[in-house]
Amino acid sequence: MNISESAYKQLLREYDEKQLKAVQACRYRTRRIEGEIPELNMINSRIAQLSVDMAVMRIRGRGADRQAYDREMKSLTARKEALLRNAGYTPEDLKPRYECSLCGDTGFIDGKECSCFKNAIISLLYDQSNLRQILEKENFGTFSFRYYSREPLEGKPSESPFLIAQKAVSTAKDFVLSFEESSDNLFITGETGTGKTFLCNCIAKEILDQGHPVIYLSAVKLFGILADNTFGSRNQERIAEDLFSCDLLIIDDLGTEYTNAFIQSAFFNCINERLLRNRHTIISTNLSIEQIRNSYSERVFSRIAEKYTFIKLFGKDIRIMKKLEG
Ligand SMILES: [Zn+2]
C-alpha cells in the first residue's frame, strides 16, 4: 500500500475519531438506560467491585473463594440481562457500536491492517487517481467485444478485430495478475476509437483494487508537467517523484502532445527511471511503431521496443458506432 505519509496519518486520525465517537455514544446510551433502570446502576457497581476483588485474590494466590465469586458474578449478569430485556434492551446496547466489529475501529488486528483499513486506503487511492467515476463505467466487467468485427483482416485470413481484441484483453488480464511479481509494461496501439483508453481503464481499476497507486495522464498533460519541471520548485519535484515512483503510470494518447528536444529528454528520463525502479508503465497511442521511431529519440524507441509488451487493437471507431446506435 502506498499513499502519502500525510494521507496515512490523516486516516489514522479518522479511525481514532471514529473509535472515540462510538465509545462516547456508548457512554451516553448506558447513562440513559441506567436512568431508566436504577437497579442496573447498583448491579454494575457490584460487578465492578467484584472484578477488583477477584483480581486482588488472584494476586494473593487465594483461589479457594473463586467459586463463590463466579456464582455471584453469574447471577448478577443474569439479573442484569433480565432487567435489560424487560425494558426492551439487550446487553449489546451497553457496548460500543463500532463500524467494524473485527477491529473495533482501530484499523488493526494483532498489529496488521484490518480489511476495513485496507479498503479505506484503496478508496483514498481512487480519490488520488481522479478515476473513480470513469472506472465505474469502464472496466473488464463492461468491456464488450460486440464492437469488434469477426471479418478476417485483409491478407490475414486467420485474424479478425474480434480475435485480436480477445487476445488484447487476455494480455491485459495477465498484466494485472502478474503485476506484483513482474516488471512488465504495455504499449497499446490502434486507431482512434478502437478501445485503447477503455482497456487502460480496465487495467487501472484492477490495479487500484489491488491497493496500488495509479497515475493516469494524457500525453499532453504529462509533457506539460515535464516541460514545467525545468524550474525545479519543491511542488514540481514532488510531482516528478510521483511520476517516477508510482506503481503504475498510464500515458494516454502519446503522439498528440507538443514537444521539443528538452521535453523529449525529460520524457526519456521518465520512462527510463521507471524501468530502473521496476515501476510499470502503460503507453497508449495512435502511432505505429515506425512512427514512434521517427517521432521520438532512438533511446526512447529502443526502451519501448525492448521492455514493453505490444498490444494492437483493430476495428471501426467504437465511439461513432455507439453514437449511431443512439
Ligand atoms: Zn476493521
The CA 15 to ligand 1 mean position distance, Å, reads: 10
Dihedral sign, CA of 145, 151, 154, 158?
positive
Q: Is the pLDDT of residue 1 over 50?
A: no
Gap from CA of 4 to ligand 1 centroid (Å)? 21
Average pLDDT value over all residues in the chain: 88
What is the reported pLDDT for 66?
Answer: 77
Quick one: average pLDDT of 2-23? 88
- The pLDDT tens digits for 120-172 are 988 888 887 888 889 999 999 999 888 888 888 888 888 899 999 999 999 99
Compute the distance from residue 269 Cα to the ligand 1 centre, in Å. Answer: 41
Residues 7 and 121 sit within 8 Å (Cβ to Cβ): no
Residues 181, 185, 191, 197, CA torsion sign:
positive
Who has greater pLDDT, 297 or 175? Answer: 175
Span from the CA of 120 to the centroid of ligand 1 (angstroms): 10
* 186 — pLDDT class (breaks 50, 70, 90): very high
- Full 3-state SS string of 27-80: HHHHHHHHHHCHHHHHHHHHHHHHHHHHHHHHHHCCCCCHHHHHHHHHHHHHHH
User: Is the pLDDT at 275 greater than 80, yes or no?
Assistant: yes
User: Residue 64 above 60 pLDDT?
Assistant: no
pLDDT of 240-260, one tens digit each?
Answer: 778 888 899 999 999 888 778
Cα 107 to middle of ligand 1, angstroms: 5
Q: Are 149 and 166 in contact (CB under 8 A)?
A: no
Cα 266 to averaged position of ligand 1 atoms, centre (Å): 43
Domains of the chain, each with CATH number or no CATH: 19-100 (no CATH), 130-325 (3.40.50.300)
Do 307 and 275 touch, CB atoms closer than 8 A? yes
How many whole angstroms from 119 Cα to the centroid of ligand 1? 9
Q: How far, rounded to the nearest angstrom, does the alpha carbon of residue 72 sit from its chain's CA centroid?
A: 51
pLDDT for position 229: 63
pLDDT of residue 326: 66
Residue appearing with cell numbers 487501472 = 204
For ligand 1, the distance from its centroid to the CA atom of residue 118, given in whole angstroms, is 9
* Span from the CA of 90 to the centroid of ligand 1 (angstroms): 24
Task: Tell me which amino acid residue 201 is.
Answer: N
Q: What is the pLDDT of residues 187-214, one digit of tens each?
A: 999 988 899 999 999 999 999 999 888 8
For ligand 1, the distance from its centroid to the CA atom of residue 108, given in whole angstroms, is 7
Long-range contacts of 207-212 (CB under 8 A, 24+ apart): 207/176, 207/179, 207/247, 207/248, 208/122, 208/125, 208/126, 208/129, 208/131, 208/135, 209/122, 210/176, 210/179, 210/180, 211/1, 211/118, 211/121, 211/122, 211/125, 212/2, 212/125, 212/179, 212/247, 212/248
Distance (Å) from CA 47 to ligand 1 centroid: 30
pLDDT in tens, 100-110: 999 999 999 99
